[in-house]
Amino acid sequence: MKTRSNWWQILPYLWPQWPLIVKGLFCILGFVFITLCLPYLAGQVALFIGKGEVEKVAYWLGLGTLAFLVRGIFQYGQNIFMIDAALIMVLNLRKGVYSHLHKLGLDYFETAKTGDLTYRLTEDIDRVGEIVDKLSHQFVSNFLQLIVIPAYMLYLNWQLTIASFILAPLMATLVSRFGEKLLLLSRRSQNQVSNLSALLTEVFSGIRVVKAFAAQDYEVKRFSQEAEHNRQARYHAEKLKATQYPVVGFLEAISIMLLFLIGGWQISQGNLRSEEFVSYLAAVALLLHPIDLMTSNYNEFKQAEASVDRIFELVERKPSVTESSQGLTLPPVTGKVEYSHVSFAYQPGQPVLRDLSLLAEPGQIIALVGSSGAGKTTLVNLLPRFYDPQDGQIFIDGVDIKSVTLTSLRRQIGIVPQETTLFSGTIAQNIAYGQDKLDYQAVEQAAKIANAHSFITKLSQGYQTWVGERGVNLSGGQRQRIAIARAVLLNPRIMILDEATSALDSESEALVQEALERVMQNRTVFVIAHRLSTVRRADCILVLEKGQVVESGTHHELLAKEGRYAKFYRQQYAKGKQDF
């Protein structure tokens, strides 16, 4: 059960804006002071109207007009200073949460819903910013008015004031009860919106599969169900708010009628003058608006509390892979890689790698062969520390990779994945992805090495051609060659090739393979077997089975052993395939 509010965690993001907040508070005090003067001015106008003194009435009305003008200036100031502070807080909070998400390991993103994360970074944070803005000026202003105006009312007539607030405790209790219930319903509603957003992200990302399987009706049905759940959750929250306002309004009406009854009796007894009663009524009228806003603000506060909880649920999540506070910068390496008794499991009790050891000398090509699930991809994913092993160590040039910064480690490892991810931007920006400065000469050189320069120059705008989301306007072979150029631009001493040609046609595969052979020269390369010729040329082939190296050696050495590799090779060769 939650024991404390996450609202306190907002303060570090808001406090740096204290100069704006101080200016806003000054304007709030001015606004409240002028507001307190208005009932007195109303009483004076009523007094001289009763006496028929038109000049005095005009004088006090002029002061009232000036008071409203000054009050409006103070109101503008409190609004503009506080919204500025709230928007800067939102910006810093959004950047902080986004930066923290990038520190989380791949294990988190493999289970998290993209749509849900997007909603938290946009809608949830915006909702928090809105309520912080309202609380910072509306709440403070209303709270002060609810203190000074009743104090003025007590000064005018304490009996009338006490009678007027007989129902106040009941109203406060009702508002609190409504707010707590609204918090629960708001959490449910926002979770449903996140689910809806996640579904949309998932479907639009895989729209080709949806159309290929003629699953449009199925997806429309799924969407309709989620949308209905969202409607129901929103309806219950709005129904509760719709119930609250009439109930509180009815209690306010009873209070006002009681006020007129007792006020008339006080005037008849000579305890209250008519102009004082008019002043009192003006104070009550000014008090109703702050009460309504406080009720509304409390409801919005409770709704935003659900957003705060969802935001700081992300912030409080600890990264599975962390840098040492004493992390060193890994110097340029020669490419010697050593795995020493490494064991790894995604889930406890389900090991993927078991006491695995290997040594790759600088410039060697290490091919990884094995059936699906043998641990090939996991093995190479440990090298750039996408995950950390539960046991054992990994060294590059004799340096434990846990002792160096992640940036300096990953900048020296080039990765060409099986599925290439491109981002919205130009081809040049995609090749130079992650670079602070775009060196067009280096980009072009990398593209030439990757066999990408020729097709890029044939495009309408060459390297400035805009790449659509996920690079859907490029062929698979073209995307893969851009991925190779991206890796080459780092000029890494270590390369990881993860089945880089497995999904390409023969023509594209030949171009990509030619580029890969050029890239692998004078580098330490880990190849998850994707082409027979690459495996045959490898300096060492590791055969993995159930997370262990069961055979190792060159292609000819392993064939001579007549073991698992030889059997596997003959099965593939007999089928006429050239890839593993």
> What does the buried/exposed string (b/e) look like for 106-136 if buried means 16 or more CB atoms within 10 Å of the residue's CB?
eebeeeebebbbebbbebbbebbbbbbbbbb
Rounded (10°) CA dihedral 27, 32, 37, 40 = 170
Query: Which position has the token pair 């040594």?
Result: 359
| Residues of the chain where predicted confidence (pLDDT) is lower than 50 | 1-3, 577-580
- Strands 425-426 and 337-347, by their bridges, are unpaired
Q: Residue 178: enclosing H or E segment and its boundaries?
A: helix 168-205
Tokens coding 572: 């593939």
The amino acid that residue 524 corresponds to is T
Query: What pLDDT is attached to residue 361?
Result: 93
Domains of the chain (ranges, CATH numbers): 11-315 (1.20.1560.10), 328-412+526-580 (3.40.50.300)
DSSP state of 322: -
Tokens coding 7: 């609202």
Cross-strand partners of 545: 548
Tokens coding 220: 């429309």
The amino acid that residue 580 corresponds to is F
Sheet of 365-369: strand order equals 413-416, 494-498, 524-528, 365-369, 540-545, 548-553
Cross-strand partners of 495: 414, 525
Helices 506-519, 440-449: axis angle to 10 degrees equals 120
Tokens coding 237: 């929250």
Three-state helix/strand/coil letters over 476-527:
HHHHHHHHHHHHHHCCCCEEEEECCCCCCCHHHHHHHHHHHHHHCCCCEEEE
Q: Residue 340: enclosing H or E segment and its boundaries?
A: strand 337-347
Tokens coding 203: 């479907």
Measure the CA–CA gap between 156 and 177, rounded to whole angstroms.
33
Task: Give the angle 501-406-417 at the CA atoms, nearest 5°.
Answer: 10
Query: What pLDDT is attached to residue 580?
Result: 46
> Among 319, 311, 298, which Cα is nearest to 6's?
311
What is the share, in percent, of the chain residues with pLDDT greater than 70?
Answer: 84
Q: List phi, psi (to 5°) of 206.
A: -110, 35
Measure the CA–CA gap between 122 and 376, rounded to whole angstroms.
38
Measure the CA–CA gap between 55 and 52, rounded to whole angstroms.
9
Q: Estimate to the nearest angstrom the gap between the alpha carbon of 460 and the chain centroid.
A: 36
Query: What pLDDT is attached to residue 189?
Result: 72
pLDDT tens for 63-95 read 988 998 999 999 899 888 988 888 889 888 988
Q: List phi, psi (to 5°) of 145.
A: -65, -35
Measure the CA–CA gap between 301 and 307, rounded to whole angstroms.
10
Percentages helix, strand, coil for the chain (3-state, rounded to 5) are 65, 10, 25
